[in-house]
């Protein structure tokens, strides 16, 4: 377990109650004492008593003991690497050093090298459409397959789709920035997703000690870290009041690029994206357009390679007709049969062929076109 911490007294910081307590401890106690119990996870009182301090005030003992319990990594993480990276420490991620109100300390679980990757933030609505979820997943997969690390907030909807898309890519990894401490992974149903991120070499990050529960104000606070860690923030579906718009605004304030995916003019989930585009955000509809916006080159996807080789891909007439009526909106077999003017048995056979070729995917609401 690696632990790094340094107190910085220069810049003005926005401190949560937890970081204020940490500031107090770091100014009152020897640095080696705090580092000792973080590194060894021994009793904080034992760590303090082992230092050269002749007298330890009882009140300060209580303060250190309480903070040690807050910082301790929950047991369900097992043997995962844990680090507390201090502000402006040599290991502190460079992108965060220059943002307004950088975090005093980052608690990290997983592979710290992910903080040095070229990152793209993919964020959006919690209550997203199936099309939005599919698009976020696909774009994250293609970006991650090209060596980019996907950053998001482990929330429901677009965030989860982005994380899962990155994990589905070959050697893809992702960083989840939490709005609470590690003992309170939020939402609870994403604990398995969080463990999958760690297994794939990714990282969980929080500026809050482990015991800090989720509070509404903490999620807008953490958004500055999502955008700050990333060279570009990509918005996939966001309503007029979506918290994702906060992330986009913070990205612009930090001098980062912002892209947004348009949707239906009738969809309230896309109203925020449309407003951003009107204000100057780049309009993108796929991962390739994101790459072009940044001057990056994406790795060809296996399905794209197959599609580009006409000799290797010869779809039947039925499969071609079925593919023509499919898009990002899911469709059921009966609807496809009517639109393609084919009987259900032909449609079923064609869908199997298209899924094997990587052109179609079956989701909870029906069949969608991937390419």
pLDDT of 341 > 80? The answer is yes
Across the chain, mean pLDDT equals 78
Relative to beta strand 203-206, strand 360-363 is unpaired
- The pLDDT of residue 2: 30
Two structure tokens written together for 71: 């910082």
At residue 204, the 3 state secondary structure works out as strand
State whether 364 and 252 are in the same domain: no
CA atoms within 13 A on the CB side of 321: 17
* Under 8 Å between Cβ of 176 and 186: no
Residue 285: is the preceding peptide bond cis (ω within 30°)?
Answer: no
Of the candidates 301, 270, 315, the one whose C-alpha atom is nearest the C-alpha of residue 128 is 270
Rounded Cα–Cα distance for residues 114 and 148 (Å): 10
Rounded Cα–Cα distance for residues 300 and 265 (Å): 32
State whether 76 and 189 are in the same domain: no
State whether 288 and 142 are in the same domain: yes
Confidence of residue 148 (pLDDT cuts 50, 70, 90): very high
Listed residues 279, 300, 321: the one ending a domain: 300
Rounded Cα–Cα distance for residues 251 and 12 (Å): 20
Q: Which domain holds residue 234?
A: 114-201+213-300
State whether 159 and 221 are in the same domain: yes
State whether 295 and 359 are in the same domain: no
Two structure tokens written together for 242: 């979506």
Rg (CA), the chain: 24
By percentage, how much of the chain surpasses pLDDT 70? 72
State whether 136 and 42 are in the same domain: no
- The pLDDT of residue 209: 78
State whether 180 and 36 are in the same domain: no
Task: Say which residue, 289 or 64, is predicted with more confidence.
Answer: 289
State whether 182 and 312 are in the same domain: no
Backbone angles phi, psi at 300, to 5 degrees: -60, 140
Two structure tokens written together for 30: 């020897």
> What's this model's pTM, rounded to 2 decimal places?
0.69
Domain count, the chain: 3
Instruction: CATH number of the domain at 194, please.
Output: 3.40.50.450
pLDDT of 58 > 90? The answer is no
Which pairs with CB-CB distance under 8 Å and at least 24 residues apart come from 332-339?
332/366, 332/367, 333/367, 335/366, 336/367
State whether 87 and 149 are in the same domain: no
pLDDT of 226 > 90? The answer is yes
pLDDT of 313 > 60? The answer is no
pLDDT of 217 > 50? The answer is yes
Of the candidates 169, 218, 219, 167, the one whose C-alpha atom is nearest the C-alpha of residue 192 is 167
State whether 90 and 185 are in the same domain: no
Listed residues 59, 81, 110: the one ending a domain: 110
- The CA-CA-CA angle for residues 322, 326, 328, to 5°, reads 160
- The CA-CA-CA angle for residues 96, 30, 183, to 5°, reads 55
Residue 129 within any structural domain of the chain: yes
CA atoms within 13 A on the CB side of 356: 10
Listed residues 268, 300, 332: the one ending a domain: 300
DSSP-assigned states of every residue in 69-120: HHHSPPGGGTT--EEEEETT-TTS-HHHHTSSS--SEEEEEE-GGGGGS-EE
pLDDT of 110 > 80? The answer is yes
Mean pLDDT, residues 303-332 taken together: 67
- The pLDDT of residue 249: 94
Rounded Cα–Cα distance for residues 309 and 366 (Å): 28
Distance from first CA to last CA of the chain, Å, rounded?
A: 43
DSSP-assigned states of every residue in 287-308: HHHHHHHHT--PPPPHHHHHHH
The CA dihedral of 107, 109, 113, 115, to the nearest 10 degrees, is -50
Task: Say which residue, 340 or 51, is predicted with more confidence.
Answer: 340
Residue 52 within any structural domain of the chain: yes
């Amino acid at each position: 377990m690696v632990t790094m911490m340094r107190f910085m007294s220069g810049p003005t910081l926005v401190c949560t109650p937890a970081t204020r307590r940490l500031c107090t401890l770091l100014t009152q106690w020897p640095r080696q004492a705090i580092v000792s119990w973080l590194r060894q996870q021994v009793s904080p009182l034992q760590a303090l008593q082992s230092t050269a301090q002749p007298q330890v005030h009882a009140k300060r003992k209580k303060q250190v003991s309480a903070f040690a319990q807050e910082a301790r990594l929950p047991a369900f993480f097992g043997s995962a690497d844990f680090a507390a990276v201090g502000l402006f420490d040599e290991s502190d991620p460079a992108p965060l050093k220059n943002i307004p109100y950088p975090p005093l300390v980052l608690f990290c679980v997983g592979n710290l090298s992910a903080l040095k990757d070229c990152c793209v933030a993919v964020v959006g609505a919690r209550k997203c459409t199936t099309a939005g979820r599919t698009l976020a997943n696909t774009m994250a997969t293609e970006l991650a397959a090209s060596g980019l690390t996907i950053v998001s907030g482990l929330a429901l909807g677009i965030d989860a789709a982005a994380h899962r898309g990155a994990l589905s890519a070959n050697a893809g990894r992702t960083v989840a920035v939490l709005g609470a401490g590690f003992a309170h992974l939020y939402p609870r149903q994403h604990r398995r997703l969080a463990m999958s991120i760690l297994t794939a070499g990714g990282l969980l990050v929080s500026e809050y000690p482990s015991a800090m529960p989720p509070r509404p104000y903490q999620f807008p606070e953490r958004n500055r870290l999502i955008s700050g860690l990333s060279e570009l923030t990509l918005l996939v579906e966001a309503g007029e009041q979506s918290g994702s718009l906060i992330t986009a605004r913070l990205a612009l304030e930090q001098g980062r690029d912002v892209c947004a995916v348009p949707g239906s003019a009738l969809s309230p989930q896309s109203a925020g994206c449309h407003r951003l585009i009107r204000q100057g955000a780049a309009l993108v509809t796929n991962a390739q357009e994101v790459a072009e916006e940044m001057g990056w080159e994406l790795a060809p996807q296996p399905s794209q390679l197959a599609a580009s080789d006409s000799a290797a891909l010869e779809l039947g007439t039925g499969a071609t007709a079925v593919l023509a009526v499919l898009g990002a909106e899911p469709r059921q077999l009966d609807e496809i049969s009517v639109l393609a003017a084919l009987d259900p048995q032909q449609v079923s056979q064609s869908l199997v062929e298209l899924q094997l070729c990587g052109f179609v995917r079956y989701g909870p609401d029906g069949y969608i076109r991937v390419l």
